[in-house]
Structures are given as C-alpha cells and as structure tokens.
Structure 1
Amino acid sequence: MTHALDLLLHLPPDRLPGALRLISYMLGEARAAADADTVLTRMSELIRAGGVPLDRATSIVPLLHAEAVASARFWERGKGARSYLFPYNAESGQGYAHSPAADVHKTGEWVVLWLPDTPDGRYGIVPELKADGYTHYIMAPVFMRSGMAGTFSFATRAADGFPADDIRFLRAVFPALSACQEILTTARAMQEALRIYVGEEPQRRIISGDVHRGEVMHIRSAILFADMRRFTELTAGMTAEQATGLLNAYYDCIVPPVEGAGGEVLKLIGDGILAIFRAEEDGEQTCARALAAAREGLARVAARTDQPQFGVGIALHFGEVAFGNVGSGMRLDYTVIGRDVNLAARVAALCGAMDAPLLVSAEFRQRARLKGHSLGKQALKGLQEQEEVFAVSTS
C-alpha cells in the first residue's frame, strides 16, 4: 500500500484526479454493485478517462461452485462487458497451466508482454491477442485473505502500447481494484457455498441473519420425498467411490427435473431427497409442477442403461414445512421439520412395500385433482392418525 501511495504521489498532475476518481469508485459504489459486468465496464471507462489507452480488460475470480471453477468477465472498448464460466471437468486445469494467470499466481509478479516480440507459444492466449490487434498486455494477481486468488488483465491496441506513466497509473490504483474484487468475490463465494450445502432458501435466510437457534419460518408447499430402493443392498460390495458414483447417478435423475419445475432441493439425506415447490393460490398448479417433476425423474431412472440398475420411490404431499435452526452452542443445522415433512417421508417408505413408484397423499390428490388408485388408510410410523394413500400413474 505504501508503494501504491508513493506511485500516486508521483503521478503526473494531470493523471492524479483520474486515479482518485477510480479509487473512489472501486472502494465506494462498486462494492455494493449487484452486477459485476457493470463494475468492470465502469472501471475500464475510468481507466481510459485517466489517460490510459485501455482497449480490453478482464477480471477472473475463483468460484465455490459445484459445476464451475472460475468466472471470467471481459470488457472490450466499443463492445461492453460479457462473462464466461470455466466449467469443472477433467480438463479444468490444462488451460490454466498454460496461462499467464498461473505465472502471476506462482511468482506474485505482474506479467507484462510487448506482444510484437512475444513468441506465440509463450502462453495460449498470445496468438488470440495478436490476431485481435493488441500490442501490449498486462496481467496482475489478486491474492485474497481467504486463500483464493484472482486476476486482472489490461490490453491495448495503441501503437506505443502502455507507456511508463500508464503502467505507473495502473500500479497506483491496483490496490483499490484488488480490494473491490476481493469484497465481491468473497460475498459471492459465501453465497455459493451456502447454496451448495443448504439450498437456496436457507442460504438467503442465513445470509440475512437467521442464525439463532429456535427461529422458524413456515412455508406452504408441495413436498416431494424420493428414496432409492435397496440402496444398502446395492452398495454392500462397493467401494466408497463406487457408492458415491451410484448416489450421484440417482441425484442426476431426480434433482434436475425438480429444479427445472421450480422446486427447491432442501436436503440430500443419503439415498433420500427432500424438495419443496412453494405454493401459489390454492396450490393446484404447484402440485402439477411437483407431479411433472416426479414423473420426469422416474422416467430418467427407467431410461438408465448403466449398471447397477436401481429403483426409486417418490411420495408427494401438500402441506407446510418449517425451516428452523436446531443444535447446541455454536453448532447449528438449518433444517426442515414438521408433521407434513414426516408424512411425506413415511409415504415414500411405503413405495417398496406397495410396489408403487409414485404415491401421493389424500391432500395432494385433492389439490392436484388426480384420480389415482386408493391403497386405503395406512398407519405411518410416528404419526397418530392413519393417512389414505393413492398410487398414481408415472406418465
């Protein structure tokens, strides 16, 4: 920071106001921005207003995301900003290894390339930059307190590239750029991590301050409970990796249809899946969405050709779920509780005994206006009153 202050104090007088405006924006308005593309665009415009001939800027940050490893945002003069997610797969690290990002993260130093003299093989991005007419390219690392690391890059098509005063300008404002990126990245990472492990609604509640034991929120909804049949038997001879693979195949059948129909997966309980569909008005359309998701999930299970094959039982009910913090001391679990949740789980347990892949409660059947085949009133473990259960078509 002292070095950056020295650079600020030694900027040419005509550059200092632009640098201060940029710093003020990055440490003020940008920190609360909802759209990171807007931040990158405004940052780039202010860099240009400060006298730097910027034609391209990028911000790359790591993600705590189940399906992506990083987010890249690109700004180009005259084109605005766009974003791209780097997917998580077997090739995720290959592009990074041959990038300037790998070098700046390893050394902590900026990479500065005068492109006319840079061999095409230096980095994977060099031929692309040359083909687009860029002359000078800079990448700088952002190291965050959390241990995550991001980058900014800057490029120009100016014939003379970035003169020394331009580079001094960028170095002088860079601590503010880094601080803003860290703030936005940390906030996003916290939301993503919570979303992965507790679901969308609990994530929102926790972030908003619902972290005290005993606080409860009630939601009317269609409730879906899915259960893989014979999971213990199927995995008895499997390694932990094979059993995990089987569970993931099962989740891939059920979870996407639920989310695609507007449902929220609240819990992955071993071979059980608990999801809700928030109710609107009388719940008829809500129940229709839940039924469609259940049928599509069962169709995906039936269409599997990989071994081992497995069956799934799904129960649907309409009622109320309660989100609440339970636990002791500093260790809490944000979970879903209530009679209607228990009822859905108990009905799902009947699927195997009744040899019926899709069962619904009387309440769900009535709201969804289904016909169904009554299996009579059933005694459900833990519930005092018997519940009439209906088998419905899976298509």
Structure 2
Amino acid sequence: MSDISDFLNHLPADRARTAFDLVHYMLGKALKSEDADEVLTEMAERIGRAGVPLDRATSIVPLLHAEAVASARFWERGSGARSYLFPYTPESGDGYAHSPAAVVHETGEWVRLWLPETPDDTYGIVPELKEAGYTDYLMAPVFMKSGMAGTFSFATRAPNGFSDEDLAFLRLVFPALAGAQDILATTRAMQEVMRMYVGAEPQRRILSGDVHRGEVMRIRSAILFADMRRFTELTVDMSAEEATQLLNAYYDCIVPPIEEAGGEVLKFIGDGILAIFRAEGAGNVACFKAIQAAQEGLDRVAHRNGSPSFDVGIALHLGEVAYGNVGSGLRLDYTVIGRDVNLAARVAGLCGTLGEPLLVSDTFRGRIADAGKKTSGGPVSVWSVGVHALKGLHTPLEVFAVAVP
C-alpha cells in the first residue's frame, strides 16, 4: 500500500467515512484546542470507533525548553491521557538511542513489533509493553518543517494484533495526525523559546502583534534590580565555561525567589537581573512581595555552598517599566526602558559603595511600612543612608537600607 487509493481499497465505506471525519477533526478543531491531552484522547477514541482495536496511543514531540528535551503524551483505554516531560540531563540521549524512535527517525519508515516474538532487549520499551499485555506495536515518524522530529505510536492487546484493514486505516489518517502534531508542536516551541529569551509579557505582546518599532507599553510595578559585585574581578582568570557556571549559580539564588513571590524576570543584563512585581492600587502588596523575594535571594547567596563566593546588591523601586521596540530595519529588540528602570539600576550600583546588600528608593520605602502592617511578614526595618547624586538623574535621591534577616 503506497498511496491513498491503495488504503481506500482496503477499507469498507463506513471506515473510510470515519477516517475522513478524523482527518477533519485533526486539521480543524484539534488545532484550536488548548488541551493536548484532550486532542490525543479524542483522536484515539475516534480510531477506536472506526473498529481499530487500539488500546494505547502515544505522541512524543521534541521541546525547545531549558529543562526538558521532549514531551510525551500517553493514552490508554480506560485510563485516559497523561503527559510526561523528559528532563534534560547529560544522559538524555541514552534512552532515545535504544528506542524505536531512533530507528524510525533514521529510516523514515514505520516500525512494527509483534511482541510475543520480540526479544526483550530489542528496545528498552519492549518489556514494559509485554508486561502490560500488548501484542502488536507500531511507531511512525513525524518530520516537521522546523527540522524537529516527533513520533506517534499505537499498540493493541488484541490476540491477533492489528489487521490489514487496521493498518490501512492508520496509514490513511496518519498525514493528518502528523500535520496536527507539526503545527501544535511548532507553535508550542515558538512560544516556549520566546518566553525563555524575552520573558512572559514580551512573548505575549510580540505574538499578539506588537512588533513595530517605537511602540511602547507601560506597567506600574515594584522594580527589582540585582547585581553581582566584583563580577569582572571574580571572572578575570576564568574560562568562558567557568564564568557561565558562576553566573548560573548566582541566577539560581536570585531568580527562584522572584518567581515564587509572583514576580517576572524581564532581563538578564550581564550580571544584572531586572524583574518586576506588578502593582495594583497603591502598590503596597507588590512592594512587600519584592522585599520578600530580595531578602530570600540574599539569604540563598549567604548560605550557598560553592567557590568562589560572591556578594550581591539589590535595589528596589516603585515606578513604571516601559517595554519598547527599538532597533533598525528588520532587526529589533523588545527591551525594557524608562527613567524608573535606570533609577533602580543606579541605586543597585550604590550597594557596593555603601556596603549595603539591599537598598530602596524613597518611593518604595513609603510603601513597605504600610505593607508590613497588612501582611504576616511584619514590619520591615529601614533607615536612611543619605542623599546621593545618581548618574543620569537631575535630582539627588535619598536612599534607604533594609535589614536582611
């Protein structure tokens, strides 16, 4: 069977109609769904209604993700669908190398296993399939336009396995299954890559059409700017790999508390971290979340095990963050701009000069006193460290230090 007419010749009319209904679903409603588990379930149940004795179906797609290499979704008759992320590790490729996926991607052909006669050591998945009572197993490759490659697999517990008619049905509908996986996986990859590199809010803005030079969006926020002290001095004799490792250790101290407190990291600027906590009303709650995240991050720096040790200065300010498209021609950067961002960065620069790990602006200080009374965290200890002229700002600014528990 090599073309659609061959597949149709092997199918009764009712199965052919069911096949076309499935194709229509996969290239229509499925592409608009927000729930990939629901799509896999609907696909598998429609295949079952066509008379194919399908007991297990999987969809595996590669990810462009900082912490995972692939996403797998499993459907089993009677159990519904579930998903699993394959985490990124130095050994991530070992399981793939001993799987039918590696074979279908290399050959471009489907793999079929008659499990009662398949040795357990053929592929890593074979013992699991046998133990679950499956008899016949199919895996097919999906080659995406982006260059990524995924798979679909189908398994049955039927004593005689899949019939020729079953195979004809699966072959007939497979281009639609593959097309839907390609579109959905590529869309997900685009969203995840943009979120990783520009942040959640810029990702949403860019994908909604905010891509023209000069467009600006403003967000009132508690602004956090963190800076590693003496980074150049610490890394002067390091290799690029060692310097990167140090930066990642620093980020691992500061970023998780920001995200756990509901903040958003907007930019990594060398050894600088710019984050915001969106403000509502007077901004008291946002400011208190920011102070909690800053204190927790500094605590993690203080208790970090590893060499070399480093110090961090953090500045907090309540103001306005502006996103803007800047650049020339077709090369744009969706970046963070504005006076309040500059102010936070300048205050962070004072941390080393004043020997204080956590500094806040007068505007910010006015909010955390009230916030401390309204939350379980209690009041925050703050004191003035003087009025300072900051580069690029016309008016000197009174700066306040905050106690770090």
TM-score normalized with structure 1 length: 0.98
Distance 1:144 1:5, change over 3 A: farther
Q: Deviations over 1:48-70 (max 9, x none)?
A: 01110100000000111000000
Letter in 1 for 2:340: D
Q: Deviations over 1:163-200 (max 9, x none)?
A: 11101110110000000000000100000010010000
Contact kept, 8 Å, 2:381 with 2:403, in 1: the verdict is no
Contact kept, 8 Å, 1:228 with 1:271, in 2: the verdict is yes
Q: CA deviation at 1:9?
A: 5.1
CA distance in 1, matches of 2:207, 2:9: 40
Contact kept, 8 Å, 2:10 with 2:165, in 1: the verdict is no
Please say which of residues 122-131 and 364-373 is displaced more in the overlay.
364-373
Q: Which residue of 2 aligns with 1:142?
A: 142
Structure 1: gaps of 5 or more residues: none
Alignment length (residue pairs)? 395
Q: Which residue of 2 aligns with 1:224?
A: 224
Q: CA deviation at 1:79?
A: 0.5
Letter in 2 for 1:19: A
Q: Which residue of 2 aligns with 1:188?
A: 188
Q: CA deviation at 1:328?
A: 0.5
Q: CA deviation at 1:258?
A: 0.7
Distance 1:232 1:202, change over 3 A: same
Matched position secondary structure for 2:90:
coil
* 1:375 paired residue among 385, 397, 401: 385
Pairing 1:392–2:402 present: yes
Q: Which residue of 2 aligns with 1:351?
A: 351
Q: Which residue of 2 aligns with 1:160?
A: 160
Q: Give 1:176-325 correspondences, 5 Å limit.
A: 176-325=176-325
Q: Which residue of 1 aligns with 2:33?
A: 33
Please say which of residues 200-209 and 13-22 is displaced more in the overlay.
13-22
* Cα-Cα RMSD: 1.1
Q: Deviations over 1:272-329 (max 9, x none)?
A: 0000011122211111111111111111111112100000000000000001100000
Contact kept, 8 Å, 1:4 with 1:175, in 2: the verdict is no
Letter in 2 for 1:377: V
Letter in 1 for 2:305: T
Contact kept, 8 Å, 1:60 with 1:150, in 2: the verdict is yes
Q: CA deviation at 1:371?
A: 4.2
Q: Which residue of 2 aligns with 1:87?
A: 87
Matched position secondary structure for 2:146:
coil
TM-score normalized with structure 2 length: 0.96
Q: Deviations over 1:82-107 (max 9, x none)?
A: 00000011111111111111111111
Contact kept, 8 Å, 1:216 with 1:324, in 2: the verdict is yes
Distance 1:293 1:5, change over 3 A: farther
Q: Deviations over 1:82-137 (max 9, x none)?
A: 00000011111111111111111111010100100000000000000000000011
State the percentage of identical aligned residues. Answer: 71
Q: Which residue of 1 aligns with 2:65?
A: 65
Q: CA deviation at 1:148?
A: 0.2
Contact kept, 8 Å, 1:314 with 1:357, in 2: the verdict is yes
CA distance in 2, matches of 1:17, 1:93: 41
Q: Which residue of 2 aligns with 1:97?
A: 97
CA distance in 1, matches of 2:12, 2:121: 37
Q: CA deviation at 1:394?
A: 1.2
CA distance in 2, matches of 1:375, 1:2: 79
Matched position secondary structure for 2:14:
coil
CA distance in 2, matches of 1:380, 1:119: 73
CA distance in 1, matches of 2:295, 2:76: 46
Matched position secondary structure for 1:14:
helix
CA distance in 2, matches of 1:175, 1:132: 29
CA distance in 1, matches of 2:9, 2:39: 26
Q: Which residue of 2 aligns with 1:126?
A: 126
Q: CA deviation at 1:335?
A: 0.5
Q: Give 1:357-368 correspondences, 5 Å limit.
A: 357-368=357-368
Please say which of residues 124-133 and 361-370 is displaced more in the overlay.
361-370
Contact kept, 8 Å, 1:5 with 1:172, in 2: the verdict is no
Moved over 4 A (4+): none
Letter in 1 for 2:330: M
Distance 1:321 1:339, change over 3 A: same
Letter in 2 for 1:285: V
Q: Deviations over 1:1-52 (max 9, x none)?
A: 9823542354222311110111010011001110100000000000001110
Q: Which residue of 2 aligns with 1:43?
A: 43
Letter in 2 for 1:261: A
